[in-house]
Amino acid sequence: MTVGSQVKTCYATLKSIEAGLDLLYAASMEQDLKAAIEEASQLIKETRHDIHQQVIHIDKQEPQYKS
């Protein structure tokens, strides 16, 4: 597996985690749990954004790996 593929897999995994946290947030009734989920979701969102920037960079540097 190329580095580009690994970065794209990581990006997809982060999107999946973010979606799972959104579902958990919606199902939660406890405010403390919702606050913790919201904080974790924000961290995942920031990380996903950073990884997405790397995907863009890789696609520009190595066009043969472009999705």
Nearest-angstrom CA–CA distance, 7 and 37? 24
Structure token pair of residue 8: 């794209």
Cα within 13 Å of Cα(18), Cβ side: 14
pLDDT of 1 reads: 76
Per-residue pLDDT tens for 6-61? 999 999 999 999 999 999 999 999 999 999 999 999 999 999 999 999 999 988 88
Confidence at residue 65, expressed as pLDDT on a 0 to 100 scale: 57
Residue ranges per structural domain of the chain: 3-65
pTM, entire model:
0.82
